[in-house]
Amino acid sequence: MKVGIRDSMLPVSFEESFQKAKDIGFDGIELCMGVNYREHALWQDGGIDKVNGLADAAGIEVSSLSPGGFTAFSFMHPTDSTRTEGIAKLQYLSETAPHLGAKVILVPFFGGGQIQDDHINAPRFIDGLKTAAETAEKHGVFLAIESTLSAEQHQQIIDNVGSSAVGVYYDMGNATGFGYDSPTEIRSLGTAITQMHIKDTGGNHAGEGDVDFPAVFDAAHAVGYDSWFVLETPGKDDPAASAAKNLNFVRNNF
């Protein structure tokens, strides 16, 4: 079991986040990029080498890629050019991830890009995900959906797409907040869970909110989960101290 943290959770610059994560004790870092994704290092000349250099210098891995800004370019976007840009973005990251030693790309569906019930079987949605998944399969990486849907609905999408490259990025904090039973969902999804965030409810440190972490971790063990736990936890007054506290919680309880 390895534990990582999203670079946006650390109170330092992108360049400093690798060493900061290592100093706190993390095994890896999840690279985050927003709507203006082309400004991120991975879209710059020499950017892949730069990221690898930072990771190697710190002695830390790149656990995953998180294009949060994808919500503005999702498969159901009514403007074809915007939808196509979103698909191309995921394809580029699928091609890039192996060069960073990463296998998981978080595909978020929140806000304006939230998956509605009628999207689950919509050809526009499924075809978009299929197109992106074909590239992911080719490069041996996974597109991990994170959304407001239930485990059953996520499984419907996976079945509709029919690609081994599509899975779920499970966030027990979000799921609990949405009213879902996280341990039951984890057992239901099983190997469809590609990666997990660590988060509690209400902006609390892990173990101090409503998430039943003992049951969540028992469920993760039961389904043989052995991928990354990536912290997406609020920094509170001292982000580094909070990160260390949450890291220790995972290491001491899983």
Domain edges within the chain? 2-253
What is the second-level CATH architecture of the domain 2-253? Alpha-Beta Barrel (3.20)
Contact of 73 with 83, CB cutoff 8 Å: yes
- Residue (of 132, 67, 149, 53) closest to 95 by Cα position: 132
Q: What residue ranges in the chain does DSSP mark as E strands?
A: 2-6, 28-33, 61-67, 104-109, 142-147, 166-171, 193-198, 228-231
110-139 mean pLDDT:
97
Using a cut of 0.95, tell me whether the model's pTM lies above it.
yes
CA of residue 80 relative to chain centroid, distance: 25
Q: Where are the alpha helices (DSSP H) in 101-233?
A: 123-138, 151-161, 172-177, 182-189, 213-222
Q: pLDDT grade, residue 235 (50/70/90)?
A: confident
Does the pLDDT value for residue 80 go beyond 90? yes
Q: pLDDT grade, residue 215 (50/70/90)?
A: very high
Give dist(CA 9, CA 173) in Å, integer: 16
Give dist(CA 175, CA 231) in Å, integer: 15
Determine what percent of the chain is predicted with pLDDT higher than 90.
Answer: 97
Give dist(CA 103, CA 93) in Å, integer: 10
Contact of 214 with 253, CB cutoff 8 Å: yes
Residue at token pair 């419907």: 156
Does the pLDDT value for residue 236 go beyond 90? no
Averaged pLDDT of the chain? 97
Does the pLDDT value for residue 237 go beyond 90? no
**pLDDT for 210:** 98
| Encoded tokens for 202 | 């209400």
**pLDDT for 138:** 98
Does the pLDDT value for residue 233 go beyond 90? no
- Please, which residues have CB within 8 angstroms of residue 18's CB and are 6 or more apart in sequence? 7, 29, 54, 55, 57, 58, 60
